[in-house]
């Protein structure tokens, strides 16, 4: 089964060749058909009429932005070759005059908006938000400390002093539903200590570590369980700030849970019948992730027998 999760399915041609021509990018930015998505404090402009959608506006407002806004970042082209950009306007204290350029639009939390906008637009949102966040946090060269400059439409930054090039990073995260027979493991993070929220185990992959190795290590660290077979399910971009969730199913070859209290407040086994109730929000005292999260689909695939295990 093929999955396209929320924050995936971006339809843009990201224009690798066009990105290398700085003059062309400046021309694209001033075309009448250019479409720009402003973000204020990483919240995208969204309009809600017959349905929620990203609110694209023209280029006229750019001349009024202070230089420290950082400039628009190129996202790519649609099938009609219309160019699309995103811009961080967080330096504008009151952005209401910019929001007014798309009547009825307002800046909204990206995670909340993603559940309402069309799926392909959530992929665009992930690209834009992750890129703008990276630029805001990596203005200065990590080699010599001089402020670097955005290049290739935001696909890299280059230091004008030492000429070092810096590229946006995506952090790989292994997220896995651990199972053994007709039961599976879910846990609560320390941050949700007083919650009834249970989800898949997850953790960042380490350098020089294969996905399967990362899965086994994280399960051992968080739950004290040994894992044998690991199978890939699907992946999901997660732009908070910029991760790639690599979804797997992992077969436990041991059964005794030993919780790492530094990372988890609780880890426990659930039967398949309990998980099915939880998916219907009918398991008393337990809540699990909704469809916005890849964890929901890992859990559901196992509970419904559609997982590749």
Q: What is the per-residue pLDDT across 211-246, written as a single tens digit (0 to 9) for each?
A: 999 999 999 999 999 999 999 999 999 999 999 999
DSSP assignment, residue 1? -
Q: What is the per-residue pLDDT across 68-85, written as a single tens digit (0 to 9) for each?
A: 888 999 999 999 999 999
Q: Quote the pTM value.
A: 0.94
Q: What is the per-residue pLDDT across 242-277, written as a single tens digit (0 to 9) for each?
A: 999 999 999 999 999 999 988 899 999 999 999 999
Per CATH, 16-137 and 171-304 having the same topology is answered: yes
Fold of 16-137: Nucleoside Triphosphate Pyrophosphohydrolase (3.90.79)
- Distance (Å, whole) CA 220 – CA 201: 10
- Distance (Å, whole) CA 250 – CA 227: 6
Per-domain boundaries in the chain: 16-137, 171-304
Q: What is the per-residue pLDDT across 3-56, written as a single tens digit (0 to 9) for each?
A: 899 999 999 999 999 999 999 999 999 999 999 999 999 999 999 988 999 999
3.90.79.10, 3.40.50.2000, 3.30.365.10, 3.50.70.10: CATH of 171-304? 3.90.79.10
DSSP 95-120: THHHHTTSTTEEE--HHHHHTTS-HH
Q: Does 194 have pLDDT greater than 80?
A: no
């Amino acid at each position: 089964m093929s999955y396209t999760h929320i924050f995936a399915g971006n339809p843009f041609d990201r224009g690798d060749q066009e990105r290398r021509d700085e003059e062309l990018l400046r021309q694209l930015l001033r075309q009448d058909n250019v479409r720009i998505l402003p973000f204020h404090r990483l919240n995208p402009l969204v309009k809600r009429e017959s349905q929620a959608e990203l609110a694209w506006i023209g280029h006229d407002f750019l001349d009024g932005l202070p230089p420290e806004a950082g400039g628009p970042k190129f996202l790519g082209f649609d099938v009609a070759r219309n160019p699309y950009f995103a811009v961080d306007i967080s330096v504008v204290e009151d952005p209401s005059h910019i929001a007014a350029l798309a009547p009825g639009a307002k800046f909204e939390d990206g995670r909340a908006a993603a559940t309402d906008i069309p799926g392909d637009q959530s992929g665009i949102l992930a690209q834009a938000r992750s890129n703008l966040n990276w630029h805001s946090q990596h203005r200065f060269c990590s080699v010599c400390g001089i402020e670097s400059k955005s290049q290739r439409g935001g696909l890299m930054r280059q230091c004008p002093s030492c000429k070092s090039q810096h590229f946006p990073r995506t952090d790989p995260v292994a997220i896995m539903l651990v199972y053994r027979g007709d039961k599976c493991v879910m846990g609560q993070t320390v941050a949700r200590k007083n919650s009834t929220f249970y989800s898949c185990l997850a953790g960042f992959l380490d350098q020089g570590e294969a996905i399967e190795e990362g899965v086994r290590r994280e399960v051992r660290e968080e739950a004290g369980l040994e894992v044998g077979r690991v199978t890939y399910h699907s992946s999901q971009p997660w732009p908070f700030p910029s991760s790639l969730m690599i979804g797997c199913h992992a077969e436990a070859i041991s059964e005794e849970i030993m919780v790492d209290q530094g990372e988890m407040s609780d880890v426990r086994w659930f039967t398949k019948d309990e998980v099915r109730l939880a998916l219907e929000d009918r398991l008393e005292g337990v809540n699990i992730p909704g469809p916005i999260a890849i964890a929901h689909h890992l859990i559901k695939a196992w509970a419904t027998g559609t997982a590749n295990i």
